[in-house]
Structure 1
Amino acid sequence: MSLAVMLLVLGQAAAAQSQSQTAQNNAGGDATSSPAAGTQAASLPATNVEDRRDPVAEALNPATTVGSKIPMTAREIPQSVSVITQEQIREQNFQTLKDAMQYAPGITTLQSDSDRVQYYARGFPITSFLVDGTPSFVNSSISVTADTFQPSLAIYDRVEVLTGPSGLLNGFGAPGGAVNLVRKHAQKEFEASATLSGGTRGNSGATLDVGGPLNPSGSLRGRAVVSYTGANGIQDTTNTRNKVLYGTLEADLTSTTLLRVGASYSEYTSNEPWIWGIYTNGTYGDLPRGHYYGAGWNRDTFRTTDLFAELHQKLGGGWTAKAVLDYVYSRSTTLQASQFNAWDPATYTGDISATNNVVSEGKTNIDVSATGPFTLFGRTHQATIGANYMRMVEHQSQYYGDPSNLFSVTNVNLLDILYPMPVFPGTPDTTSRNNTYAKQYGFYGQTRLSLLDQLTLILGGRVSWYQSRFAVDPTYNVFGLTGNSVGNSGKFTGYAGLVYDLNKTWSVYTSYTSIFQPQDNLLTTSGTLIKPITGDQYEAGIKGEFMDGRFTTAFAVYQINQKNRAMVDPNDPTSSHYIGLGKARTRGFELSGTGELTPGWKLFGSYTYNNSQLEDSNSFDTIASPFSSISPHNIFKLWTSYRLPGMLHGLTLGGGVTAVSETSASRNGYTATQGFYAVVDASISYAFTKKTSLSLNANNLFDRDYFAAAYARGQPRTVMLTLRTAY
């Protein structure tokens, strides 16, 4: 609770500063009002939030559309949201989405090696990912690819995060939350920037970002980004490389019509293995973290091409329409021979998995929506209506090195893995090939009703249809898999929220969200699919906004209920048959403070307490035990920076810490526990001019050795020197 006291004190100090600043603005004839103060008596604020906010506030706490189509500030949203801004990305030198998410409030990063990352919030995985507000499929077999969840941030302006279920734009999925990546768009005026970096552990990078008008009138604009990053891995002889190309064009077809098209290509390579890191005695072992537990031919390659087009149309009366078409093609190749099961601490022997896994995937996403105001009972309200369609086709081929030991090669010396690379393309007795076809479409709507000047009711809902088909190549079916198809029709997920402005600074809110999550490929003893998981979330909180939105605070309490979770059938415990009788509950609270406390002093802090428990289970799971042991009960994150005044005004000092309580992980019946740990980061930068700066960032300053989310070792200390210049 020390963070709560600190944020309340800082909030009051910021409020005093806000009053002083407002008085100065009023004296100068340039007053800026908060959202609550700027609301007219009988109407909601205009949809274009950016036009009425302080520029500094907009940069630090921008309006978001994560989980919605209506741009709203954090104070106007009756759920927990956070934004990793471009300023944070630069100041903390975030290279990938994983870097940014490690400082996002309430987020746990589960990393099994350098390439494969999953994110958890409130005890559940995050399975809803959007780009510019358009949702996309997340499929289990490719959900760990680098370009899906570890993209370079070079082409994105900011990262928006919602914790808790978000079923409005994507009707099915886990209730962990949603992540929206906002692309960089073409500028109205010419801008160019270049970044060059280098550091310890082979870290290097270069980025060129150029954009602006392409004709005298400025009706045609473009932007291009080229980026490269590279680094040595945690283990000896390992490394990662990431190359990114991005281009976008914008055209004002008419005074009311905007067309935006673009494309990106990325290529990510790595030779780090998939590591589980657990001994049979239930510990992580005592080998140096730099030791490489893999074969010399291990390699991951991920290539992704993204083509997109957007049409924005002003319809009159304040209404706007948007149509989006996005196609993503990705191909991944994973060659690996690395630890599969827990190993013997006395002999350092264990089992390895030797595979060549090739996955190609095409995803088509279409989204059409309209947003605008309407008048009812003498008051002005806002509404959004829309529909979207998502289709995915995935082809997967797995080639194994030993037909007699397909899943694992036993009794291998893990200190020196000498095993030949599996034959490519393989033979029927060493190969599994399958295809997945999935599509989802639905209709959604949301409205913000101005019940009173200070009271807003938000209602939303979505009706969804989902189909998935799994097909197996009968010739290359070494595991004897069978195909299946599943579907859900006309499923409704609802949302309701209420926001009440206590005054110009504080708002209280409450919200309700329903949950619907299919459980594909989980069969009962009769061969039928178990029913989907259903549930709901209840959330309530208070949010504050100071200094015209430059600093915001939030406190939320929540409870998530789930029922019909899959459990092993107690009448058939040795087979892969399930019953849908499990129940689970998550309770917790979140506290955060974000923005600029005083000119030059910025703070981004959060504390999350989460308790996830099973409420109804069977003999294989203990009631009241955590159902997500990789999600810690306590998460604390803080980053602060201060720009020195006077003659040293070009110098900025920064520092931060992420701390989590105990987590544990299991592998084939063996469990290892990572106790509390804290990682400290620091930075120092100097701005030679408004356009040129030099910064030094140190991550894991004290070189803390730990296991991230209980699976893979955390990154050791790295120091990075970065030169940035702009024109």
Structure 2
Amino acid sequence: MAMNTYSQKFAALAAGVALSALAVQAQEASEAGSAELRQETVIVTSRAQQLYRVEQTTTGKMPTDPMLSTQAITVINSELIEDQGARDAQDLYRNISGVSVFSYAGVTARGYRQEENFFDGLRGDPYAGFSVPQLFNVERVEFLKGPAGMLYGAGAPGGLFNYVTKTPSEEFAASVSGVVGTEGRKGASLEVTGALPLEGTAGRLGIFYEDQHGPRRNAGSETNIYDGGLSFDLGFADLVLQATRYEQKLDGNRLRGVPTDDLGNFIADRRWNHNEPTDFLDLESNVLQARVTAEPVEGLAVDFGIRWNDGTEVQNYHEPFGLFDSDGDGVVDSSRRQYRDQLRQTESLSLGTNAVWSADLGPVQNRVLVGGDWFTSDAGFTGVSFAGGTTAEPGFPTPLSLLDPQYGETDSTTYLLPPMRITESRQTRYGVYALNEATIGPVIAVVGVRQDTFEDKNLISGDVFEDDAMTWRAGLVYRVRDDVSLFGQWAESFEPQGIGSQNPLAGGPFQPTEGEILEGGVKTDLFGGRVQSTGSVYQIIRTNILQADPRGDVDGDGVDDMVAFGEITSEGFEIDVTTDITENWVGTISYAYNDTRITRTNSQTNLSNAVGDRFANAPENTVGFWTRYQVPILHTAFAFGGDYVDVRRSISGQKVRPYMTFDASIICEIDDWKALLRIDNLFDETYASSGFIDRTGHFPGDPRSVFLEVTRQW
């Protein structure tokens, strides 16, 4: 679709936002007389006006008012997380235009698969690839859209998540919560923060426990998070120390999908599970983190952070390994299975530092950012895979019926397992960057550059690959008025090719994959902040993608060659709106249109996750909304939300049907007590959240669930 068509769509939707804003303004007068009543409500006065507001973002490395940023950043604060009863990151995607589920912690962001997460601006994800980030100790979630290579180094071009964690406060606050719900759900949590006896010192303690049966057969989840922190006012600087322990015990995991036909209809019950009751996924991660902030001289702000993570993930599970017709009636009704015993261990260390100098240079308000970061990670894998056939044989995994699964007929302790496979690798990444932001009247101009060096090493074979990359970004903001800004940006990203693809015999080494964005849009903060919106059109081009050389072994050295020739183009339009409809009624809505296509290939081999000229799990249209209405006289708020994801294709090309789900919350606050009644998938829609490959099927969305959480606050 041509870019001018996006512009037309943007103009139409922006006009709709403006009309909504005018309606809000017209309503103000009729509500003026109720101001005195609002002052007496137990639910905080005018809370709706500030409920989901964010005054500042930090993911751009410098604290910035969203209206003044050249980037599109979606921020989900603690109030929205609490109102939606969100427990993990997947519960929040509806609030971020252009983001939908791919698999596990991975998402599709502006058409591209994205899996890496940052915590407090640093690498070191405590959740190994098959666990979704939990939100108990998270203050807010920021998603920076588009390539971010100049700020964060290597990464996917669709964007990145930054989880901002909770830190100690000298102001005392405490809460105790208990939760019960369907699927045997039960849990409790404790949080307390406040000043400590030593002057200038504060502490924080958080404990979270939740256990429930999963909606899939044999599946279950037990999560424990222990989180503590200390903050010190050193006079010349502030120091924050944090320690967190994560434990997840997932029964009947690692969960794959449920098989479907080519039209996307499940051919087994959505609760079908390929795993035995004895299968499991256990995750343990320990995180230590420190951050120092200081202002050594007026106008100069400096920060330094360090993050250490040590994680272990153990998995024993039965992988679906091929569908078949067991009785010869022409209907697929069973699945072969492969048993996998896997151990993953990761230890990483991440450091980052920034210095921001602010000064007026004549008529120019100037901010200069310089910084650097360093990251190293040692990863070890020990695993074995062992497949069974279409009939039950001693010492082999038995097949499993799709229609009448019988569990417990196979015993993994009797399997004739082959030797374990062991791999060990080390990643090292470091970069330095500089950025200048100049403000002259209504114009803000930004330009930045970063130099990265990276090294990948196979610790067993000794193979090493190292290279470097330079990335740029530039942006412009024009403030039409204090409450309307036009913005645009150009930015780059890169991702090193995997060390397994750098074999000189296959044509390596290869340059990193590169991404480039052109984006423009408008941001509003109308009627004293009662209508905030961001709308943008963009084009992202990803190049230098490896694929098999159709000529095969070009040099006659016995190894088939690769060629870096692939190109993908993502074009789209997004709009996010948060508005106070009345003093007691707030709403958010996010819409995204995306068209991602393969625009260059060698025409004889497929790119990873390609389905024809498109990509797996990349919907054209997504819509998410959330609205909350509070009734002060009842001390209660009612909230309702929806999530629509357009038709997609799985990696195997099977249809993933579009879906629309709805959720609701009732929040009651009386004095220091708060109760949240949460209903997910209100109308019990049967749907697939994403697709994978045909032998493992689509990931089923959860059926309707309900929980009640009661909290006492001090």
**TM tier, shorter chain?**
0.7 to 0.9
Alignment map for 1:229-628 (pairs within 5 Å): 229-254=210-235, 256-273=236-253, 274-278=255-259, 283-344=264-325, 346-401=331-386, 412-414=399-401, 415-416=405-406, 418-421=409-412, 429-450=418-439, 452-472=440-460, 484-489=463-468, 491-520=469-498, 521-523=500-502, 526-572=506-552, 577-617=561-601, 618-621=603-606, 625-628=612-615
Give the superposition deviation at 1:137: 7.1
Which of 648, 656, 677 is residue 674 of structure 1 equivalent to?
Answer: 656
433-442 vs 101-110, which deviates more? 101-110
Alignment-derived partner of residue 706 in structure 2:
719
| Counterpart secondary structure, 1:154 | coil
Counterpart amino acid of 1:495? R
Alignment-derived partner of residue 156 in structure 2:
174
Give the superposition deviation at 1:193: 1.1
Give the superposition deviation at 1:404: 11
Q: What is the distance in 1 between the residues matched to 2:496 and 2:58? A: 26
Q: What is the distance in 2 between the residues matched to 1:410 and 1:570? A: 37
Give the superposition deviation at 1:19: 11
| Counterpart secondary structure, 2:342 | strand
Q: What is the distance in 2 between the residues matched to 1:356 and 1:531? A: 35
Counterpart amino acid of 2:279? N
8 A contact 1:401–1:421 mirrored in 2: no
92-101 vs 336-345, which deviates more? 336-345
With over 3 angstroms needed to count, the CA separation of the structure-2 counterparts of 1:110 and 1:275, relative to structure 1, is same
Give the superposition deviation at 1:655: 0.5
Which of 192, 208, 231 is residue 210 of structure 1 equivalent to?
Answer: 192
- Deviation track 1:349-373 (CA, whole Å, cap 9, x = no partner) reads 3332211100111010011111130
Counterpart amino acid of 2:523? K
With over 3 angstroms needed to count, the CA separation of the structure-2 counterparts of 1:569 and 1:410, relative to structure 1, is farther
Matched, 1:61 2:54: yes
With over 3 angstroms needed to count, the CA separation of the structure-2 counterparts of 1:158 and 1:79, relative to structure 1, is same
8 A contact 2:48–2:584 mirrored in 1: no
Q: What is the distance in 1 between the residues matched to 2:581 and 2:613? A: 38
Unaligned runs of 5+ in 1: 26-53, 473-481
Give the superposition deviation at 1:470: 1.9
With over 3 angstroms needed to count, the CA separation of the structure-2 counterparts of 1:595 and 1:205, relative to structure 1, is farther
With over 3 angstroms needed to count, the CA separation of the structure-2 counterparts of 1:250 and 1:394, relative to structure 1, is same
Taking structure 2 as the reference length, what is the TM-score of the superposition? 0.87
With over 3 angstroms needed to count, the CA separation of the structure-2 counterparts of 1:383 and 1:302, relative to structure 1, is same
Q: What is the distance in 2 between the residues matched to 1:258 and 1:197? A: 36
Q: What is the distance in 1 between the residues matched to 2:264 and 2:363? A: 67
Q: What is the distance in 2 between the residues matched to 1:725 and 1:189? A: 17
8 A contact 2:310–2:347 mirrored in 1: yes
8 A contact 1:535–1:562 mirrored in 2: yes
Give the superposition deviation at 1:5: 5.7
Q: What is the distance in 2 between the residues matched to 1:535 and 1:341? A: 36
Alignment map for 1:658-669 (pairs within 5 Å): 658-667=643-652
- Deviation track 1:183-225 (CA, whole Å, cap 9, x = no partner) reads 11111211101221111112222111101000274x0100110
Which of 118, 143, 161 is residue 161 of structure 1 equivalent to?
Answer: 143
8 A contact 2:677–2:707 mirrored in 1: yes
Identical positions, percent: 21
Matched, 1:91 2:83: yes
Alignment-derived partner of residue 129 in structure 1:
117
Alignment-derived partner of residue 681 in structure 2:
700
Q: What is the distance in 1 between the residues matched to 2:108 and 2:459? A: 30
Which of 163, 166, 171 is residue 189 of structure 1 equivalent to?
Answer: 171
Give the superposition deviation at 1:696: 1.1
Unaligned runs of 5+ in 2: 1-8, 36-46, 692-697
Matched, 1:119 2:107: yes
Give the superposition deviation at 1:343: 4.6
With over 3 angstroms needed to count, the CA separation of the structure-2 counterparts of 1:563 and 1:292, relative to structure 1, is closer
| Counterpart secondary structure, 1:297 | coil
609-618 vs 575-584, which deviates more? 575-584
Counterpart amino acid of 2:382? S
Which of 609, 620, 626 is residue 633 of structure 1 equivalent to?
Answer: 620
| Counterpart secondary structure, 1:509 | strand
Give the superposition deviation at 1:695: 1.9
| Counterpart secondary structure, 2:358 | strand
- Deviation track 1:537-585 (CA, whole Å, cap 9, x = no partner) reads 0000000002433531011000011222122221229987421111110
Counterpart amino acid of 1:94? A
Q: What is the distance in 2 between the residues matched to 1:262 and 1:162? A: 24
- Count of residues in correspondence between the two structures: 664
